[in-house]
Amino acid sequence: MTSEPILHLASSSPRRRTILESLGLAFSVDTVDVDESRLANETPEQMVLRLAEAKARAADVDRSHFVIGSDTVVVLDDEILCKPRDREDAIAMLLKLSGRRHRVLTGVALYGPDGLRTTLSTTDVFFREISRDEALFYWQSGEPRDKAGAYGIQGVGGALVESINGSYSGVVGLPAFETAELLRSAGIDVLRDQVDHDR
């Protein structure tokens, strides 16, 4: 019987770590630092896939192991909403999103001994109408400060989200289904491994 491939997550995000843990996989965390600037004429889809790959490749690990890299952006029309610079920037973002549909794109890359695999998750998110006072109260909760688009669906920000069409975990930062499919294509079957471990 072959040994289980060693898996690494190229991210310091506690949200991505929690999602990967929920799949029952053993992994280590390797923090990476890459330039996340958007390139000229680059679509949001191209951007998240490029950054996911860059993160996976940047991890300082044994190249016989597997590395997951991921990048998430909030897109309103063709505008990418990054992490807010300050309170006013966060409020401006939230008011732009108010009462509208936006997209959350998450690119995932799996880099291993047999090369690179990538996948893209796209989720439509519908915000309810919110007032400036609500946006300010939300900012004061502290949650928007490190979140793309100035909100986190898994926290208080979930109260602003009327509905979604797509992957909830993709909005959080790591789409569970797409990630599991990438792993399965590389020989790491989440469901099969759970059954084997329980025997």
Nearest alpha-carbon partner for 4 in 190, 199, 198: 190
Residue 110's contacts (CB-CB under 8 Å, 6 or more residues apart) are 56, 66, 67, 68, 116, 117, 118, 182, 183, 186
Give per-residue burial for 54-88: e unless 16+ CB within 10 Å, then b: bbbebbebeeebbbbbbbbbbbbeeebbbbbeeee
Q: What is the gyration radius of the CA atoms in the chain, in angstroms?
A: 18
Q: Is 30 one of the catalytic residues?
A: no
Q: Which of 30, 33, 35, 71 is catalytic?
A: 71
Which amino acids are annotated catalytic? 71
